[in-house]
Structure 1
Amino acid sequence: MATVIMALLYVLEGAILTVTAVVTGIKHSEFPDVRVGYHVRDAMESKEKWNDANVIAGLVSGVFAVIFFAAAILVYWNRIDTDISIVLFFILSAISIGSVLLIPTYLLKMSARLRKKAKTVIRNILIVIFVIAAAWIGWLCAYYNTKNADNLPSLENLQTEDLDDLVGYQRGQLISVWDQPDDTISIDQDVWHLEGEEYLLVTYGTSGKVKDAEFVIP
């Protein structure tokens, strides 16, 4: 339960940062109207500074939003210890809040050319982090949805209730644990000898994964 709560806290923080990124980076009001956006004195001096400050704040918020969403998945899949996730949450929160508040203010003191370069750098960082996070999440999804040969029971211990769990395993995974089949009826069917006159008949689908498994006695 603690894991789910912590994951939700990370998601909530990511959602808040996403809203902040949209409001400041995209939906901020047009200068000289400064009611919606990044409110600091330096940003309100000119249209250029107002736009730069809001875009930078939005990009920084976006970077940390992606980080929080990725961390939420790590926590949910128990890749981070609960105690560590709590400490990490407060550390990331402090860093993200400080960065969103201070980085735009600091860059406003720089020249317009440096601010433009900073926006490009932060935007590239956001893209890289997003791509890495997306690829990593895709890999995790594939990993957790792929049958693991380590979970296969031995032939000697195979029970009737285990047969349904065999569905989805690759032929190569069965062979890696059970060795080569005693007989191959066709490209889609293998037979392993169990005890006495009992055999295990495995039928594969078009993708080479187990489609059905049953005990048979010739």
Structure 2
Amino acid sequence: MVTVVMALLFTLEGVILTITAIVTGIKHSDFPDVRVGYYVRDAMKSEEKWEDSNETAGLVSGTFAVIFFATAILVYWERIDSYRSIVLFFIFSIIAIGSVLLIPAYFLKKSVRVRKKAKKIIRNVLIVVFTVDVVWIVWLYAYYHTKNADNLPTLENLQDDDLDDLAGYKRGQLISVWQEPDHTISADQDVWALDGDEYLLVTYGTGGKVKEAEFVIP
């Protein structure tokens, strides 16, 4: 339950940062109207500084929004324990808020050339972070939805809910995790002994893939 709550908190912060990125980077008011945007005194001195500071704030916010969304997925799928996820949340939040507030203000004191270069660098960082996150999410989804031996539960931890998920695994994958079966009834059926008098009966279909698995008591 704590894992789900923390994943939702990371997602919520990602949404807030996304809104901040849109407001400052795209929807900020046009100078000299400075009511909506990066509300800092130095940014209000000229149109050029107003536009630069808002664009920088938007890029920084967008970068951290992507990081928070990716972390939410990581916390949920990897079931990161509550202590670590809480620590990560506060550390990332402090860094994100500080960066959004301070980075644009810092570059306002620099020359136009430096501000332009800074925006280019931050934009490239955002693109790289977004690309890496997308590739990682695709890989993570494929990993957890592929019949991979790494995803097989041990015999000791096998539950009723896991039986349907065994369909599609190959016999060799089962053996690599569970060792050789205790009994082989036929080319299409294996039996593994469990605790007590219970056994796991596995029936194979086409290509030696698991067709059905069930707990049995002789």
TM range (shorter): 0.7 to 0.9
Given the alignment of the two structures, is residue 92 of structure 1 paired with residue 92 of structure 2, yes or no?
Answer: yes
The residue number in structure 1 matching 2:61 is 61
RMSD: 3.4
The residue number in structure 1 matching 2:70 is 70
Distance change >3 Å, CA 209–CA 123, structure 1 → 2:
farther
TM-score, normalising length: structure 1: 0.77
Quote the Cα distance in structure 2 between the aligned partners of 1:63 and 1:153.
Answer: 43
Given the alignment of the two structures, is residue 14 of structure 1 paired with residue 26 of structure 2, yes or no?
Answer: no
Contact preservation (8 Å) 1:60, 1:122 = yes
The residue number in structure 1 matching 2:41 is 41
2:188 is aligned, of 191, 195, 198, to 191
Q: Which runs of 5+ in 1 are unaligned?
A: 155-159, 185-189
Distance change >3 Å, CA 96–CA 164, structure 1 → 2:
closer
CA apart distance, 1:143: 1.9
Given the alignment of the two structures, is residue 26 of structure 1 paired with residue 26 of structure 2, yes or no?
Answer: yes
CA apart distance, 1:41: 1.2
CA apart distance, 1:151: 3.1
The residue number in structure 1 matching 2:5 is 5
Q: Percent identity?
A: 65
The residue number in structure 1 matching 2:205 is 203
Aligned length: 202
2:153 is aligned, of 151, 154, 163, to 151
AA of the residue aligned to 1:34: V
Distance change >3 Å, CA 138–CA 178, structure 1 → 2:
same
Quote the Cα distance in structure 1 between the aligned partners of 2:191 and 2:72.
Answer: 45
Q: Deviations over 1:118-153 (max 9, x none)?
A: 001001111111111111112221222223434375
Quote the Cα distance in structure 2 between the aligned partners of 1:95 and 1:161.
Answer: 41
Distance change >3 Å, CA 148–CA 108, structure 1 → 2:
same
SS in structure 1 at match of 2:168? coil
SS in structure 1 at match of 2:188? strand
Quote the Cα distance in structure 1 between the aligned partners of 2:117 and 2:55.
Answer: 12
AA of the residue aligned to 2:206: Y
Quote the Cα distance in structure 2 between the aligned partners of 1:95 and 1:147.
Answer: 39
The residue number in structure 2 matching 1:118 is 118
